[in-house]
Amino acid sequence: MLYKNIKKYIYFLIVLTAPVLFEQCGAGKILTSSKNEHEIFINDNEAKIIPAPVYDKYTGTIFSLTPSAKIYIDPSSLPIKKIALYLQSKLRPSTGYTLDIADNFPNLLYGNIYLSIISSDSALGSEGYKLTVSKDSIYLRAFKPEGLFRGVQTIRQLFPSAIESSSKRYDNWNIESRIIIDYPRYRWRGAMLDVARHFFSVKDVEKYIDILALYKINVFHIHLTDDQGWRIMIHSWKNLAEYGGSTATGGDPGGYYTQKDFSEIVDYAKDRYINIVPEIDMPAHTNAALASYAVLNCDGKAPHLYGGTNVGFCSLCLDSPITYTFLDGVIKELAAITPGNYIHIGGDEARTLAIPKYAGFIDKVEKIVHKYGKKVIGWEEIRNAKVDSGTIVQFWANSNLAKAAAKAGMKLVLSPASKIYLDMKYDSTTTIGQNWAGYVTVKTAYDWDPLDFVDDSTEKNIVGVEAPLWTETIKTLSDIEYMVFPRILCAAEIGWSQKSRKNWNDFAARLSLQGSRWNIMGVNYYKSKEINWIK
Ligand code: TNX
């Protein structure tokens, strides 16, 4: 008992003093590259990982992974085994080591990796972890499996980039010894993908999700419906997918997910501790639905399918009872295949509707979502309704209004378009994407903070941040990757790392190492001149 209390005391002492200690011992130097004018900020002994951890201390030796290493787990439960298998699948191809999984947890020795749940460590929260890399072992502890999974991403990033290779490499699988204590600033660190303007296969979506996991993203918001396409099979309204999903922007090929496909994506994400938030956009952005069923239109006439890029030109018929029968059916089926708490109801750009009418609609839909046991998230326009205290409002265009929403007690996710819309061009030479919110350089995507949009006193109402990718001009997985990498890492760091760790030069230096990792992983990315990419 006494021992336990002492342990707890020491732990809190470390956590509380860590940032101070870190500031003092971590002062870096600024080097100037001879090749060009870029300054590289090298913080010699700091962990070169993204997002930056809360506490990180170099302890002076080197750990080497050897062919006989094993991954030990404690307890030997299914979730922990799955995490060990995941780690094994990431390390085995490049090292060529078998990295067998064992559960007879011995003393920490002989180059092994240890994954352990410490049930007394509730201070770490569900995503936090403690990582001790010493000469002899890698010892990762967390309060919850989710924390172990996040810590595993840190281990991956601490190894040389070649660790990501899908074939055997002869590298020194070394890590500088260190202690890391880490946990997130916000509980919602999201990426949104629009699969309505262009459709992406299950495999493409999974590849994207897999890379997001490496940066501790934990929400994947999938924008399933819009004017140009309906991408999820709803059995009680089959035409939505079969007809409404048959095409895409510019007349490009359409497609839709069967409910089995959708569940496959959900499970794939779940194995990576990423929650899927499906979006059915309404009452505007519904041309594909209106074209699929004439009864959904106030005049009873179905419009043509739409392949353009205008927004806000149509709406469901809010006075018609069938509209709510329809939405009840859609939300019922979607809620049944969505294990997460949230359904996104869109709500953006309903330009044909007066605000009171729009607000009344949102209130009704909120009740339907609650009826099926889920909570609501919607774009910033839904703040005009009397939203429930559990509802999240996602700010995008008019972040200035976020302050008032937070004051009124609403929960917020921040996606300021001029900072973190991933479909914005990097600069005038970018050949895909848009620029209505301006150009978004890597530095622009990094140089903002959620507290720029609310008062300190209402920070508690910020649930997190999310980086959306709209796909009017994005047609392939390679296009997605080009727009997303590296900017999604800015969102990942803003969402996870403490504000005190924020430093562009330091981030840019850590980011410069990710390019070689992406080259090895076969991930396309924008080789921004703002970053001095290291080969
Ligand atoms: C605005 S952001 C939209 C989308 C477009 C996007 C293009 C939001 C809630 N609505 O419908 O695709 O701009 O950047």
How does DSSP assign 93-142, residue by residue? HHH-----EE-S---S-TTEEEEEE-TT-GGGTTT-EEEEE-SSEEEEEE
| 375 close to 308: Cβ distance less than 8 angstroms | no
Distances from the Cα of 294 to the Cα of 132, 239, 282, 286, angstroms: 62, 11, 17, 12
Ligand 1: does its nearest atom lie under 6 Å from the Cβ of 311? yes
Query: How far is ligand 1, taken at its centre, from the CA of residue 180, in Å?
Result: 39
Can you name the residues that pair with 469 across neighbouring β-strands?
193
423-443: pLDDT as tens digits: 999 999 999 999 999 999 999
- In this prediction, residue 5 carries a pLDDT of 43
**Cα 447 to Cα 30, 59, 99, 198, 442, distances in angstroms:** 20, 31, 40, 30, 9
How many angstroms separate the alpha carbon of residue 174 from the centre of ligand 1? Answer: 45
Ligand 1 nearest-atom number relative to CA 417: 2
In 215-258, alpha helices (H):
239-242
- Are the C-beta atoms of residues 257 and 226 closer than 8 Å to each other? no
pLDDT of residue 187: 98
- Protein residue with its CA nearest to atom 7 in ligand 1: 470
Ligand 1 atom nearest the C-alpha of 472 is 12
Can you tell me the mean pLDDT for 232-260? 98
Q: What value does the mean pLDDT take over residues 405-422?
A: 95
Between the CA of 139 and the centroid of ligand 1 the distance, in Å, is 44
Cα 348 to ligand 1 centre (Å): 8
CB < 8 Å & 24+ apart, contacts of 358-366: 358/283, 358/384, 358/385, 359/384, 359/385, 359/386, 360/318, 360/385, 361/283, 361/318, 361/385, 362/387, 364/324, 365/282, 365/327, 365/331, 366/391
Which protein residue's CA is at the shortest distance from atom 9 of ligand 1? 348
Q: Which residue has the higher pLDDT, 261 or 403?
A: 261
Q: Please name the residues in contact with 443: beta carbons below 8 A apart, sequence gap of 6 or more.
A: 504, 508, 530
Mean pLDDT of 168-174: 92
Give the residue numbers annotated as catalytic, written as ranges.
349
Phi, psi for residue 531 in degrees, rounded to 5: -115, 135
Ligand 1 site-directed mutation target among 470, 473, 474, 483, most atoms within 8 Å of CB: 470
Q: Is the pLDDT of residue 32 over 60?
A: no
Give percent of the chain with pLDDT exceeding 90: 86
> Do 262 and 289 meet the contact criterion of CB atoms below 8 Å apart?
no
Q: What is the pTM of this model?
A: 0.92
Task: Report whether pLDDT(161) > 90.
Answer: yes
* pLDDT of res. 525: 98
Ligand 1 neighbour 516 (Cβ under 6 A) = no
Indicate which residue's Cα is closest to atom 11 of ligand 1. 311
From the CA of 415, give the closest atom in ligand 1: 2
Q: What's the pLDDT tens digit per position in 348-360?
A: 999 999 999 999 9
Say if residue 39's pLDDT is above 50: no
Sign of CA dihedral 18, 488, 442, 226: negative
Written as one letter, the residue type at 175 is I
Higher per-residue pLDDT: 104 or 516: 516
Q: Is 348 in the pocket of ligand 1 (CB under 6 A)?
A: yes
Atom of ligand 1 nearest to the CA of 394: 9
Distance of CA 377 to the CA centre of its chain: 16
- Residue to mutate, 311, 392, 399, ligand 1, most ligand atoms under 8 Å from C-beta: 311
77 token code pair: 């439960």
Output the DSSP codes for 147-170. HHHHHHHHHHHHS-GGGG-SS---
pLDDT at 301: 98
β-partners of residue 72 are 102, 114
For ligand 1, whether the C-beta of 379 sits within 6 Å is yes
470 C-alpha to center of ligand 1: Å?
A: 7
Nearest protein Cα to ligand 1, atom 5: 470
Task: Tell me the backbone φ, ψ of residue 208, rounded to 5 degrees.
Answer: -60, -45
- CA–centroid distance, 345 to ligand 1, in Å, is 14
- Does 42 have pLDDT greater than 50? no
Question: Does residue 20 carry a pLDDT above 60?
Answer: no
pLDDT digits (tens, 9 = 90+) for 248-297: 999 999 999 999 999 999 999 999 999 999 999 999 999 999 999 999 99
Retrieve residue 484's tokens. Answer: 């997303």
- CA–CA dist 217, 275 (Å, integer): 9
